[in-house]
């Protein structure tokens, strides 16, 4: 989590650019990363078994497993791209 916090701030799920999800109910620790679409209807993520990036519906299953929501630190992008 420390590495994520270097580049991202926690935020409300409706404003996020990245989300962490838990997959195993026994741990509830983050185990998956996905990027919601702008309209929050789809998730872009990788799926190991198909060895590909996939676009999935952002359905109830995903929403119930949100660990945390994140937004890129505002000044980070400017520091790297506006020199």
Q: What is the pLDDT of residues 14-33, one digit of tens each?
A: 999 999 999 888 888 898 99
Whole-model pTM: value is: 0.81
Q: Provide the pLDDT for residue 82.
A: 58
Tokens 């702008």 -> residue: 38
- pLDDT on residue 49: 80
Q: Hey, what are 43's tokens?
A: 């998730």
Q: Which residue has the higher pLDDT, 19 or 79?
A: 19
| 76 pLDDT above the threshold of 70 | no
Among candidate residues 74, 66, 55, 64, the one with its CA nearest the CA of residue 13: 66
Burial class (CB in 10 A: 0-12, 13-18, 19+), 43: buried
Token output for 82: 């506006």
Q: What is the C-alpha to C-alpha distance for residues 21 and 72, in angstroms, rounded to an integer?
A: 17
Dihedrals φ, ψ of 41, to 5°?
A: -105, -15
Domain boundaries, the chain: 2-78
pLDDT of 1 reads 80
């Amino acid at each position: 989590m420390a590495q994520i916090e270097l580049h991202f701030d926690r935020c409300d799920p409706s404003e996020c650019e990245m989300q962490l999800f838990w997959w195993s109910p026994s741990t509830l620790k983050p185990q998956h990363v996905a990027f919601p679409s702008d309209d929050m209807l789809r998730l872009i993520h990788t799926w190991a078994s198909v060895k590909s990036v996939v676009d999935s519906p952002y359905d109830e299953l995903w929403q119930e497993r949100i660990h945390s929501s994140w937004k890129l630190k505002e000044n980070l992008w400017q520091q790297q791209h506006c020199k």
